């Protein structure tokens, strides 16, 4: 690192408004923890809403400090990832950093010298899974005192979680949040050379750190983050608090990353953001949104481009117009609706009504007639009535969603909805989920039937999980296809004739000589 870079790094650290807690005894740790001016990370909606005033800074100067550059030589790491694609992608970044430090990856817990749990806070059961895993790792830590166990991701941004780990899970060595992944080398050094638990969670809403190393999970499909954070503040959702404010990467950085992926032979990119179509709204110097970005990526020679997740409110005409060009811009749109009831949508702060959503669907279908829509739905929002739930069922049918991720509402501490009393019993919520899932399965099976006997284009990802003699890949509309074909087709787009349609996947036979060479 040269002098200028060092200064910039010092500035990032100072501005970041973070605190580190280092202690030896547990009592000491807890009291000191509260004595430091560590700002509560527990969701504070009032504070979070004031976010827009602060500037976002871009940093292009990431490097691994020399004194830790070889610390991982001969050692192994394992990262367990929970939650959404954003976390999957953060894991790729952490794997990149650890690899640059000399660590090798392992999938065997016993072999690992460092284990990171990249956590998700979206629902209570996501958090329970992580606490279960933290408990399971205790005997291993007792056996291998030099093992470093770290907790990162969205749960680390919650004060209650940090408290619980400090009080009850002393075998954890390191806690860090979603805004300071790039500090991993320094944090590992502190965890290695100190005997105390290291907690570094930044309350700052986050900058954009470019040029972080990545070890991607696959060589065929890649995630590309185009923005971070969320400013939508749906009343049930923890994400605006765990991921900070919306901030977009500069178009040139994204385009460069996509070009680089093309040069490496990638066939598909998925542009990522919690609210991906708010992309560019935070730019002050240029008028450039997701439509413009997709239009630029449309010109790049990559066969498939997807994006997720879009919010109905920000799905503008420009984006529709650009998507209508087709080509590498695929016509599968994941558009979470959450509920079919205007009253519930209002209580959720989704900022659209049932009619607005249906109107948007009409607009999309007019411009892109073959568009496939999938969605996310929450049942059992506080005080949801039977009639309101029925409206979700009818919307599901009216739109003709081909798939849906469905969830029972889970109260998240610090969110407005969690403060509401709720008169819907748990078993009623479960029944509603069951009924909705029956309908989702029916609609998915019907949409699959249409492909029977047809020929579809499949990006071949590898052998099927169940049978190594069968290959597996996805269609343009993201349907899983298992089929017979030569292994040489892996990594290519081929044509497959569908011979059987199941509820969630298709079976088929590859049409000979159809490999698209890129």
The answer to the question of residue 88 lying near ligand SAH (CB under 6 A) is: no
**Position 276 contacts ligand SF4 (CB under 6 A):** no
Nearer to ligand SAH, 33 or 407 (CB): 407
Considering CB under 6 A, how many residues would be counted as binding ligand F3S?
13
Q: What is the DSSP string of 171-227?
A: T--EEE-SS-GGGHHHHHHHHHH-SSPEEEEE-S---EE-------S-SSEEEEE-E
User: Is 121 near ligand F3S (CB under 6 A)?
Assistant: yes
Are 406 and 433 within 8 A, CB to CB?
Answer: yes
Written as six digits, the tokens of 35 are 């004595």
CB of 342 to ligand SF4, least distance (A): 17
Q: Which is nearer to ligand SF4, 389 or 409 (CB)?
A: 409
Q: How far is the CB of 345 from ligand SF4 (least distance, A)?
A: 11
Hunting for tokens 């072999």 — which residue is that? 111
Site string (109-138) toward ligand SAH, x via CB under 6 A: -------------xx---------------
Binding segment toward ligand SAH, per CB under 6 A, in 128-136, 185-193, 233-241, 507-515: 233-241
Closest CA to 328 of 296, 302, 295: 302
Residue 86 binding ligand F3S, by CB under 6 A? yes
| Two structure tokens written together for 192 | 């290695």
Q: What is the rounded distance in angstroms from the CA atom of residue 308 to the CA atom of residue 288?
A: 18
Q: How far is the CB of 61 from ligand SF4 (least distance, A)?
A: 30
173 CB-near residues (< 8 Å, 6+ apart): 148, 149, 150, 191, 197, 198
Cβ proximity to ligand SF4: between 204 and 232 the closer is: 232
Euclidean distance between CA atoms 29 and 164, whole angstroms: 12
Which residues in the 153-182 window bind ligand F3S by CB under 6 A? 153-154
Asked whether position 275 contacts ligand SF4 by CB under 6 A, the answer is: yes
Which segment (40-48, 89-97, 225-233, 280-288) binds ligand SF4 by CB under 6 A? 225-233
- Tokens 């990522």: give the residue: 272
Applying CB under 6 A, does 233 fall inside the site for ligand SF4?
yes
Contact criterion met (CB below 8 Å) for 117 and 133: yes
Q: Does 409 bind ligand SAH (CB under 6 A)?
A: yes
**Judged by CB under 6 A, how many residues of this single chain contact ligand SAH?**
17
By CB under 6 A, tell whether 234 contacts ligand SF4.
yes
CB of 10 to ligand SAH, least distance (A): 34
Of positions 29, 149, 239, 379, contacts ligand SF4 by CB under 6 A: 239
Q: Are 268 and 304 in contact (CB under 8 A)?
A: yes
Select from 62-70, 114-122, 196-204, 281-289 the region that touches ligand F3S (CB under 6 A). 114-122
Least Å from the CB of residue 127 to ligand SF4: 16
Any contact of residue 116 with ligand F3S (CB under 6 A)? no
Q: How would you classify the pairing of strands 505-510 and 493-501? A: antiparallel
Type and span of the H or E element at 164: helix 159-168
Q: How far lies 479's CA from each of 168, 224, 446, 467, in Å?
A: 44, 21, 13, 18
Q: Which of 95, 198, 199, 230 binds ligand SF4 (CB under 6 A)?
A: 230
Stretch that binds ligand SF4, among 25-33, 203-211, 237-245, 464-472 (CB under 6 A): 237-245
Smallest separation (angstroms) from ligand SAH to the CB of 245: 14
CB of 221 to ligand SF4, least distance (A): 23
CB distance 441 to 413 below 8 Å:
no
Q: What is the DSSP letter of 250?
A: P
We find the least distance from the C-beta atom of residue 148 to ligand SF4, in angstroms, to be: 31
Minimum separation from the CB atom of position 54 to ligand SF4 (A): 19
Beta carbon of residue 158, minimum distance to ligand F3S (angstroms, whole number) = 10
SS3 436: helix
**Binder of residue 233, out of ligand SF4, ligand SAH, ligand F3S, none (CB less than 5 to 8 A by kind):** ligand SF4
**How far is the C-alpha of 16 from the C-alpha of 4, rounded, in Å?**
18
Q: Is 338 in the site for ligand F3S (CB under 6 A)?
A: no
Q: Is residue 407 near ligand SAH by the rule CB under 6 A?
A: yes
Task: Specify the long-range contacts of residues 171-174, CB closer than 8 Å, at least 24 apart.
Answer: 171/137, 171/138, 171/141, 171/142, 172/134, 172/197, 173/148, 173/149, 173/197, 173/198, 174/148, 174/149, 174/150, 174/198, 174/199
Out of 1, 30, 56, 84, name the contact with ligand F3S by CB under 6 A.
84
Name which position in 249, 311, 354, 477 contacts ligand SAH (CB under 6 A): 311
Q: Binder to ligand SF4 among 119, 156, 186, 274 (CB under 6 A)?
A: 274
- Neighbouring residues of 100: CB distance < 8 A, sequence distance ≥ 6: 64, 69, 213
C-alpha span between 156 and 176 (Å, rounded): 6
Binding site for ligand F3S (CB under 6 A): 83-84, 86-87, 120-122, 153-154, 238-239, 242-243
């Amino acid at each position: 690192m040269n002098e200028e870079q060092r200064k910039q790094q010092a500035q990032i650290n100072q501005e970041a408004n973070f605190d580190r807690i280092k202690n030896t005894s547990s009592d000491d740790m807890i009291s000191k923890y509260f004595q430091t001016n560590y700002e509560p990370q527990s969701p504070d909606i009032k504070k979070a809403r004031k976010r827009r005033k602060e500037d976002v800074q871009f940093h292009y100067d990431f490097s691994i400090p020399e004194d830790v550059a070889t610390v991982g030589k001969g050692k192994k790491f394992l990262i367990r990832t929970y939650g959404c694609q954003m976390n999957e992608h953060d894991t790729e970044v952490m794997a990149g950093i650890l690899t640059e430090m000399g660590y090798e990856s392992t999938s065997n817990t016993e072999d690992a010298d460092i284990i990171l749990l990249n956590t998700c806070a979206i629902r209570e059961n996501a958090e329970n899974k992580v606490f279960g895993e933290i408990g399971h790792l205790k005997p291993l830590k007792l056996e291998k005192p030099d093992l470093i166990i770290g907790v990162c991701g969205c749960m680390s941004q919650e004060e209650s979680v940090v408290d619980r780990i400090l009080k009850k899970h002393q075998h954890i060595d390191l806690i860090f949040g979603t805004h300071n992944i790039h500090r991993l080398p320094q944090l590992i050094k502190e965890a290695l050379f100190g005997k105390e638990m290291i907690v570094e969670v930044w309350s700052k809403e986050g900058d954009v750190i470019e040029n972080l190393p990545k070890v991607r999970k696959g060589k065929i499909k890649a995630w590309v983050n185009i923005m971070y954070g969320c400013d939508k503040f749906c009343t049930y959702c923890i994400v605006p608090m765990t991921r900070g404010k919306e901030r977009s990467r500069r178009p040139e950085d994204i385009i460069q990353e996509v070009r680089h992926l093309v040069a490496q032979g990638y066939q598909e990119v998925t542009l990522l953001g919690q609210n991906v179509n708010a992309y560019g709204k935070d730019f002050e110097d240029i008028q450039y949104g997701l439509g413009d970005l997709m239009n630029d990526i449309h010109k790049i020679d990559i066969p498939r481009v997807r994006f997720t997740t879009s919010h109905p409110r920000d799905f503008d005409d420009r984006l529709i117009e650009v998507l209508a060009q087709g080509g590498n811009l695929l016509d599968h749109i994941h558009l979470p609706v959450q509920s079919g009831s205007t009253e519930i949508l209002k209580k959720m702060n989704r900022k659209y009504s049932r009619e607005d959503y249906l109107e948007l669907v009409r607009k999309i279908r007019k411009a892109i007639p073959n568009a496939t829509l999938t969605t996310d739905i929450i049942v059992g929002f506080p005080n949801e009535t039977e009639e309101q739930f029925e409206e979700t069922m009818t919307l599901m049918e009216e739109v003709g969603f081909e798939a849906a991720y469905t969830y029972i509402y889970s109260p998240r501490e610090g969110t407005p909805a969690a403060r509401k009393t709720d008169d819907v019993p748990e078993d009623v919520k479960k029944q509603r989920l069951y009924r909705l899932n029956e309908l989702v399965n029916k609609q998915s099976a019907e949409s699959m039937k249409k492909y029977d006997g047809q020929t579809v284009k499949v990006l071949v990802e590898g052998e099927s999980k169940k049978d190594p003699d069968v290959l597996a890949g996805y269609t343009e509309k993201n349907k899983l296809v298992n089929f017979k074909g030569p292994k040489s087709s892996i990594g290519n787009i081929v044509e497959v004739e569908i011979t059987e349609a199941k509820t969630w996947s298709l079976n088929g036979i590859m049409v000979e000589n159809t490999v698209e060479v890129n």
